[in-house]
Structure 1
Amino acid sequence: MSNYTHILVGVDLSDEANHVIQRANALAAASKAKLSIVHVVEPLTFAYGGDIPVDLTEIQDQLQTKAVEQLRSMAKANNISSENQHVVTGQPVSEIHALADELNVDLVIVGSHGRKGLALLLGSTANGVLHGAKCDVLAVRVKD
């Protein structure tokens, strides 16, 4: 097994995310690697009710704030420093790839429900991260 120097763990802030973070933390400790954590908030688009546009900026800001709070709490429970916590807005797969490149990580860890067949072919976040990453990717199995 390689000795990794910087590991990025992507989380969805669900209850299962703590399991993924704990596995990432153990691997980072064994490799003496830096551990960073990321959550991607997907952007809300403008919704239209007839001819009247509805601005969802305030709701998007609330989602962002809540995500920062939840990630901070998860990171604190797992001893991940604030400078290694990232909440970004965008499409999860592309944002995880971009952050992995920016931080020069050599391993990305994501949770996976282990779906098979069409569910996998239609694309989960874990599958998307795996197929576009420039570094190793580890999918940690979480309960369905």
Structure 2
Amino acid sequence: MYDTILVPTDGSDTAEVAVDHAIDLAEKYGATIHALYVIDVDATSYSLGTEQVDRIRQGHLDEMPEVKESAERATGQVADAAAEHGLTVEEHVRAGQPARAIRKFAEENDIDLVVMGSHGRSGLSRALLGSVAEHVLRETQVPVLVVDEHAER
């Protein structure tokens, strides 16, 4: 049923809860896990110049060690957790708007299931801040399992 599972991660505690669920499903179905870190170019454009953001979009992460380190740390956490269960993880880094990048990756890589965390915001805070998980749910045809940050591990 699930051969490829995508876990978008930013290295947060919320993402780690989703990783636990993805690992459980991967073990049950013999699935490959893909860990995806998305560099939010909209957010980074405030702290970096336009030229640097363009270099990130082109994949020149070696020129920005702090960004590369954050990405590798986040996807590495997924790989380390999966290794404890005898699973391997393919690690990926993309630049763009997170929900769009997740959707695009899922569609281009024949992902069967996206497992991602949610901060569980509701009401006005969700309306003002938006929700990556909500956007992914609305914009993709791939099944999405959204795990609340307070879910039991």
Q: TM-score, normalised by structure 1?
A: 0.79
Cα distance in 2, alignment partners of residues 35 and 89 from structure 1:
20
Task: Assess if the C-alpha contact under 8 Å between 2:37 and 2:92 holds in 1.
Answer: yes
Cα distance in 1, alignment partners of residues 93 and 121 from structure 2:
26
Give the alignment of 1:24-103 within 5 angstroms.
24-43=22-41, 44-45=44-45, 56=52, 60-79=64-83, 81=88, 84-103=90-109
Cα distance in 1, alignment partners of residues 19 and 127 from structure 2:
26
Task: Assess if the C-alpha contact under 8 Å between 1:46 and 1:56 holds in 2.
Answer: no
Q: CA RMSD in A?
A: 2.8
Q: TM-score, normalised by structure 2?
A: 0.75
Measured after TM superposition, the shift of residue 101 of structure 1 is 1.0
Query: 5+ unaligned residues in a row in structure 1: which ranges?
Result: none
Hey, what does 2:121 align to over in structure 1?
Answer: 115
1:138 correspondence with 2:145? yes
What amino acid does structure 2 have at the position aligned with 1:124? Answer: S
Cα distance in 2, alignment partners of residues 115 and 94 from structure 1:
20
Task: Assess if the C-alpha contact under 8 Å between 1:6 and 1:36 holds in 2.
Answer: yes
Measured after TM superposition, the shift of residue 66 of structure 1 is 2.6
Which is worse superposed, 64-73 or 29-38? 64-73
Query: How many residues get paired?
Result: 137
What amino acid does structure 2 have at the position aligned with 1:42? Answer: D
Q: What's the secondary structure of 1:78's corresponding residue?
A: helix
Could you report, residue by residue, the CA deviation over 1:54-101 in whole angstroms, capped at 9, with x for unpaired residues?
86569855212332133224312322535x111111111011011101
**Identity percentage of aligned residues:** 31
More helix by share: 2
Cα distance in 1, alignment partners of residues 20 and 47 from structure 2:
38
Cα distance in 2, alignment partners of residues 136 and 47 from structure 1:
34
